Structure 1
Amino acid sequence: MKFLKYLLIFIPISIVAEFMKINPILIFIFSSLSIIPLAGFMGEATEEISIYSGPRIGGFLNATFGNATELIISFFALKQGLFDVVKASIAGSVIGNILLVLGASMFFGGIKYKIQKFNKSIVEVSSSMLLFAVIGLSIPAIFTHTVNKDLLTGRYEWLSVWISLAMFIIYLLGLYFSFYTHKDLYGSEHAEETEAKWGVSKSIIILVLATLAIALESEYLVSSVEPMTESLGLSEIFVGIIIIPIIGNAAEHSTAVLMALKNKMDVAVEIAVGSSLQIILFVAPLLVFISLLFKPMSIVFSEFELVALIVSVLIVNRVASDGESNWLEGIQLIAVYIIIAISFFI
């Protein structure tokens, strides 16, 4: 967090740039650099409030605000009708967390420690949840990609809504599982980190201000996506699946790597995999519900997005199944992410 505060200078710079309507590429860059430290402060404020509120409310707050940055950015993208960017950012967040973040954590942690261990039971539960989520996303995609478009009726439009509702319910049940009925499996690594640095009032104020500032910067960022991609010749899909998830999760990514360097792989895995679950089971359904206020968005992903998601989940299941990690496994995950990123860029 210490170095992130210096990026706050880009908040006034981005406001001036937007007011003067300068180059959209610069507006995109300035707003992106502004969001990174704001997301970090939002995450830290949530952690501080969790210390005072206890594990139950703290778990709810972490679940709600853990991916708030992506949710806010996607909300403004929905208003702009950029459905491809929204769905790409959902897929990109999941892929980035379980390949890039977990891979980097395993790599840097593995350089310092030969073998690192983590809770195998937690990974098995999270992996099965991820697999369920990917299956949930696959059904509407396979349906629409195989059925003659002329045969689709008006009732199909509600398919995404019902599937989103089912995924949202599973997410809530997963929270109940981890924070109530099987809470003994979770959170052992957090027991020693109970000393608060901020007071409750300060934490709430920082959380509110960071959220409002992210909302402002997200509007700038989203409004510059189309002209920026046209100027640079990039596809909106690439921006959504690679760039936006990295911006929104930068602070969270660095935390996971730092935990791995402290030999706390349980925490690193929880951050990477848990964040993916929040995105796919909570943020994605919520965005489908919110889209009903504007123009309904389907939860149908493109064939390649779907394949990338499935491959990511399968390789993470394989790499993390033994409850141990090393630097080579980290490199493998990062390599898969780079291959996927290059494919979307081309």
Structure 2
Amino acid sequence: MKLLRYLLIFVPISIIGDLLHVSPTLLFVLSALAIIPLAGIMGEATEEISFYSGPRIGGFLNATFGNATELIIAFFALKAGLFEVVKASIAGSVIGNILLVLGLSMLVGGMKFKNQTFNKQSVEVSSSMLLFAVIGLTIPAIFTHTVAADLLNTRYEGLSVIVAIIMFGIYILSLYFSFYTHKDIYFVEPDEGAVAKWSLKKAIMVLIAATVILGIESEIFVGAVEPMTSALGLSEFFVGIIIVPIIGNAAEHSTAVVMAYKNKMDVAVEIAIGSSLQMVLFVTPVLIFLSLLFTPMSIVFNEFELVALIFSVLIANRVAIDGESNWLEGVQLLAVYAIIAVSFFIL
């Protein structure tokens, strides 16, 4: 976390760079370096709040604000009409969490411990829910590939909104499930040795301030995407599916790896799968609803994104079967992620 705070120097530098109209590529890099520590500070603030709210509420806040960075970036991309970047970032977040974060966590943890275990029951519930969520994303895309183009028009816009409403409804029900009817499945043993470093007021103020500054940096970041991709010859798919999720989730990713290294694999797996689940069931519907204020965005992923999403979720379900992990499983997940990343790079 100390290293992340050193990166805060890029916040004023990126703002000055934007005012001076420096090259888009440099501005993209500066704003990205500024976003990473801001996301980390938001995570630290929610962790401090969890000392006052309890571990279950704290875990929910961590997951929510863990995806807040991507939501804010996606909002400005949506406003700028960069729909392909938005949709690619949704797919990239799920793929990155399941393959990159979970794989790196298993590798790092597995290098220290021969075998690691996690709560099989809670992960099975989350991974099954994630499978349903991805099915909800794939059906509209399959619809567009099988129905004649002249029949789509307004019908498809309505379908996207209906699917978003259904997924958001399931998200609300999943919260009721985890906080009330089946809260025993998600029981978290409180860390007796940990104490709050900040007051509740300070934590809330830091969270609000970091969110506001993050909004400013996200607008700069998104504004540099198109000219940067043109200058470097990168595709918007690669930026959305690889770069944006890594930048937006860098702090959360590091937390998962640290937890795995401390043999707290339950936390690491829940961060990876829980964050993916919230991305699909909460962030995606919210973005669909927000797009109605500008230009309606449809939930249409290209064939390669769909295949990558489906296989990633199937892997997550496979990992949940035995409730154990080792370093080799981590290497396998990372290898699949590397193949996907390279494929999108040359797309």
Q: TM-score, normalised by structure 1?
A: 0.97
Match of 1:120 in 2: 120
- Matched with 2:209 is 209
Counterpart of 2:171, as a letter, is: Y
Work out the CA distance in 2 between the residues paired with 1:321 and 1:141. Answer: 29
Deviations 1:222-255 (A, max 9, x none): 0000000000000011000000000000000000
- Is contact 2:105–2:257 with CA below 8 Å preserved after alignment? yes
SS at 1:114's partner residue?
coil
Residue 315 of structure 1 pairs with residue 311 of structure 2: no
Which secondary structure state, in structure 2, belongs to the residue aligned with residue 96 of structure 1? helix
With over 3 angstroms needed to count, the CA separation of the structure-2 counterparts of 1:271 and 1:56, relative to structure 1, is closer
Give the alignment of 1:216-295 within 5 angstroms: 216-295=216-295
Q: For 1:294 and 1:261, how far apart are their aligned partners in 2?
A: 44
Alignment of 1:89-238 (within 5 A): 89-192=89-192, 194-238=194-238
Q: Please give the root-mean-square deviation of Cα atoms over the aligned residues, in Å.
A: 1.3
Contact 1:110 1:325 in 2 (8 A): yes
**Partners of 1:323 and 1:59 in 2: how far apart?**
21
Give the drift of 1:60. 4.8
CA contact (8 A) 1:189 1:264 kept: no
Q: CA deviation at 1:305?
A: 0.5
CA contact (8 A) 1:189 1:267 kept: no
Per-residue CA distance 1:267-313 (angstroms, 9 max, x = gap): 00011110001101100110000000000000111111011000101
Counterpart CA distance in 2 for 1:10 and 1:280 is 31
Tell me which amino acid in the other structure corresponds to 1:130: L
Q: Is the 8 A contact 2:99 2:334 kept in 1?
A: yes
Kept in 2: contact 1:35–1:248 (CA 8 A)? yes
1:305 aligns with 2:277: no
Deviations 1:36-59 (A, max 9, x none): 010000011112112212356545
Q: Distance in 1 between matches of 2:193 and 2:279?
A: 26
Q: Which residue of 1 aligns with 2:86?
A: 86
Which one-letter code corresponds to 1:140 in the other structure? P
Amino acid paired to 2:12? P
1:237 and 1:317 map into 2 onto residues whose CA distance is 26
Which residue number in structure 1 is paired with residue 344 of structure 2?
A: 344
Structure 2: how far apart are the matches of 1:88 and 1:101?
18
Moved over 4 A (4+): none
Superposition TM-score, scaled by structure 2 size:
0.97
Partner secondary structure for residue 33 of structure 2: helix
Distance 1:272 1:207, change over 3 A: same
> Secondary structure of the residue that 1:297 maps to in structure 2?
coil
* Partners of 1:115 and 1:326 within 8 A in 2: yes
1:186-229 deviations in Å (ceiling 9; x for gaps): 14244446521110111011101100111000000000000000
**2:184 match: secondary structure:** helix
Task: Tell me the distance in 1 between the aligned counterparts of 2:266 and 2:59.
Answer: 16
Note the C-alpha offset of 1:2: 1.4
CA–CA distance in 2 between the matches of 1:113 and 1:57?
A: 30
Contact 2:88 2:241 in 1 (8 A): yes
State the distance in 2 between where 1:193 and 1:309 align: 39
Shift of 1:317: 1.4
**Unaligned segments of structure 2, at least 5 residues:** none
Q: Do the aligned residues in 2 keep the contact of 1:28 with 1:221 (CA within 8 Å)?
A: yes
Question: Structure 1: how far apart are the matches of 2:203 and 2:289?
Answer: 30
Shift of the 155–47 alpha-carbon distance from structure 1 to 2, 3 Å rule, reads same
- Give the aligned partner of residue 76 of structure 1: 76
Contact in 1 for aligned 2:112/2:261 (Cα 8 Å): yes
Distance 2:72 2:199 in 1: 26
Q: How many residues align?
A: 346
What's the CA shift string for 1:2-24, capped at 9, x where partnerless?
A: 11100001011101110000110
